[in-house]
Amino acid sequence: MEMKARESNISPSSVSPEKASAVAPDHTAHAAVIASETVRLPIHFFVFSIFCFACGSIALPWQAPGAIRFFYQPGALSVVHMLTLGFISSAIMGVMYRYVPALTRRPVAYPRLARLQFAAYVIGVAGMISHFAINQWVGLWWSAALVFASIILFAVNLVPLLWAGFGRGVAETGMLAAICFLLLTAALGLLMGIEEARGFFWSDIVRSLGAHVVFAAVGWVTLTICAASYRFVPAFILPSEPLPRIALWQIVALILTTLGLGASLLFGLMGTMWWSLAAAGALLAYAAIMATLLRSRRLPIGWGLGHALAGMLWLIVAIALAQIVAWSGAWSAVGAPLAGALATAALLGWAGNFIIGMSYQLFPGFVAKVRSTLQFPVAAIAELSVQRPRPFVLLAFNAGALAIAAAFVGRLPVLGAVGGWLVLGAIAPYAAITFWTLSYAYRRSAPPAPSNGLRIISG
């Protein structure tokens, strides 16, 4: 406090003109450019993510029964990509744009390029979702090409920041590899779109689809969640034990097994089952590491971490289902319904829960940082958070996901519709309170103070 007081008493006249001209202008100008170009960029991604989550939830009660009868159809594919590209991937990109520069202590190299990447991504994803819905393959692959170009721009901005820590830092290694898997996923998706539209048979469509799913679900989404949670979760629970060094090896193992499993599926190589078992082992190791951290926590588990714990349970369910599907075949009479249950467990149960939980912890702080950077009136994290609907969201969302997964297993379309309505009932208040929180990154007015008067200011 004394040091801050002394600094505040320094007047501009007490600094020599030579020092001011030598140091201040470059630093101030650079900081101003970075702040003006990128400060709201993560919020843009979050807004698009929650919008897609809400739209996907609205479609679920109508699309789930049809998907249970036959999964590979236009409406189901549209909803799946609304969740994977629109909801999950947008949220991850937003977190990376905020977290990677802070982690590496280096600004985004091309802030204007990042804004272009966001615009291209939104247009491309919207085009893919709409063209899936109307079963129009030419427009689909053009949209996929735009998404692919957007992901290349995303990699151009973030890979150079992560490269220095690759192989040494847990988060840097996992996130850089995840971006590479995202590029593979987008390239495969684009090729499959061209194949459907033009009849260009470069590979078997079933093998391509399997590799596409593995690179997307495990290589991009799950790998990013694992790497990020090793940083975020300890900060939220303050465990008495440090993150074990084996965490980095778990990330490396997941990278290698994902690459092996995806390649074996894509090229029809032997050993697919064994790669699947190895990937399952790497994910179970992640669950064991997180359980160790949670046992040594010094802070209570709130509703946000409650979603993360639910996501961990769904991850274990997804691992078990994935092994059965891998051994029986995703297109067999046994494997087809379980593949739908696996998609539900992975997208809604695992990734959905984790993103909801982390949004409770991260979004208010991100908004407070934006307001501080733009010199808006100060807002406390408690003022930017709405607590009341959170228990209902946790229970209804997981009940709905469970009902949809059970409907796939039992071939019960009516139960799938019920599960869709439960998910929609949970996401409606969640989206409303999240949009309310994010809106304060765009308006100067301050939110009303909470009734308890507690103010925790984000730095």
Q: Is residue 446 part of a domain?
A: no
Burial of residue 324 (CB within 10 Å: 0-12, 13-18, 19+) is: middle
Angle at the Cα of 445 from the Cα atoms of 439 and 446, rounded to 5 degrees: 85
370 neighbors 40 (Cβ within 8 angstroms)? yes
Annotate 219-249 with DSSP letters as a single string: IIIIHHHHHHHHHHHHHHH--SSPPPTHHHH
The 10 Å Cβ neighbour count of residue 101 is: 18
Q: What is the pLDDT of residues 290-308, one digit of tens each?
A: 999 998 888 888 899 999 9
Confidence of residue 201 (pLDDT cuts 50, 70, 90): low
Q: Hey, what amino acid is at 162?
A: L
Q: Is residue 166 part of a domain?
A: yes
pLDDT of residue 37: 59
Question: Alpha-carbon distance 179 to 161, whole Å?
Answer: 12
| Tally of structural domains, the chain | 1
Torsion of CA 361, 367, 373, 379, to 10 degrees: -90
Q: Is residue 359 part of a domain?
A: yes
Residue 12 has pLDDT above 70, yes or no: no
Q: What percent of the chain has pLDDT over 70?
A: 88
Pick from 85-89, 208-212, 363-367: least confident: 208-212
Q: What is the pLDDT of residues 75-134, one digit of tens each?
A: 899 999 999 999 999 999 999 999 999 999 999 989 999 999 999 999 999 999 999 999
pLDDT of residue 184: 96
Question: Alpha-carbon distance 33 to 39, whole Å?
Answer: 10
252 neighbors 173 (Cβ within 8 angstroms)? yes
pLDDT of residue 69: 84
Torsion of CA 147, 44, 176, 27, to 10 degrees: 130
**C-alpha distance from residue 398 to each of 82, 291, 394 (Å):** 19, 20, 6
Q: Which residue has the higher pLDDT, 334 or 435?
A: 435
Q: Which long-range contacts does 80-85 make (Cβ < 8 Å, 24+ apart)?
A: 80/343, 80/347, 81/125, 81/128, 81/129, 81/132, 82/52, 82/55, 82/56, 82/129, 83/52, 83/53, 83/56, 83/347, 83/348, 83/352, 84/216, 84/221, 84/347, 85/52, 85/125, 85/128, 85/129, 85/147
pLDDT of residue 299: 84
Residue 457's DSSP bridge partners are 380
Q: Which residue has the higher pLDDT, 454 or 301?
A: 301
Question: Alpha-carbon distance 238 to 305, whole Å?
Answer: 13
**Residues of the domain holding 220:** 38-439
Q: What is the pLDDT of residues 149-160, one digit of tens each?
A: 999 999 999 999
Q: How many residues are listed for the chain in this entry?
A: 459
Residue 26 has pLDDT above 50, yes or no: no
Q: Is residue 15 part of a domain?
A: no
pLDDT of residue 55: 97
Question: Alpha-carbon distance 93 to 224, whole Å?
Answer: 10
Pick from 2-6, 282-286, 373-377: least confident: 2-6
The 10 Å Cβ neighbour count of residue 4 is: 8
Q: Is residue 249 part of a domain?
A: yes
Residue 458 has pLDDT above 70, yes or no: no
Q: Which tokens belong to 50?
A: 């929650």
Q: Which residue has the higher pLDDT, 40 or 4?
A: 40
Nearest to 342 by CA among 367, 314, 362: 314
Q: Hey, what amino acid is at 215?
A: F
Local structure of residue 457 (DSSP, 8 states): B
Q: Which residue has the higher pLDDT, 456 or 315?
A: 315
Q: Describe the crossing of helices 111-133 and 74-81 by its angle, rounded to 10 degrees.
A: 160
Q: How many CA atoms lie within 13 A of 53 on its CB side?
A: 31
Q: Which tokens belong to 354?
A: 């984790």
Residue 36 has pLDDT above 70, yes or no: no
Pick from 11-20, 65-74, 308-317: least confident: 11-20
Annotate 72-106 with DSSP letters as a single string: SSHHHHHHHHIIIIIIIIHHHHHHHHHHHHHHHT-
Angle at the Cα of 210 from the Cα atoms of 208 and 211, rounded to 5 degrees: 65
Q: Is residue 8 part of a domain?
A: no
Q: Which tokens belong to 225?
A: 């969640």
Q: How many CA atoms lie within 13 A of 296 on its CB side?
A: 15
Work out the average pLDDT over 350-357. Answer: 97
Confidence of residue 264 (pLDDT cuts 50, 70, 90): very high
Work out the average pLDDT over 301-324. Answer: 94
Q: What is the pLDDT of residues 166-195, one digit of tens each?
A: 999 999 999 999 999 999 999 999 988 887
Q: Which tokens belong to 115?
A: 């804004």
CATH number at residue 88: 1.20.210.10
Q: What is the pLDDT of residues 222-250, one digit of tens each?
A: 999 999 999 999 988 889 888 999 999 99
Nearest to 91 by CA among 50, 121, 56: 50
pLDDT of residue 375: 92
Pick from 7-11, 134-138, 339-343: least confident: 7-11
Task: Return mean pLDDT, the chain.
Answer: 88
Residues contacting residue 105 through CB under 8 Å, at least 6 positions apart? none
pLDDT of residue 187: 94
Q: What is the pLDDT of residues 273-294, one digit of tens each?
A: 999 999 999 999 999 999 999 9
Residues contacting residue 9 through CB under 8 Å, at least 6 positions apart? none
Q: Which residue has tokens 């629970």?
A: 237
Question: Alpha-carbon distance 133 to 309, whole Å?
Answer: 34
pLDDT of residue 199: 65
Q: Is residue 347 part of a domain?
A: yes
Question: Alpha-carbon distance 202 to 222, whole Å?
Answer: 28
Question: Alpha-carbon distance 99 to 105, whole Å?
Answer: 10
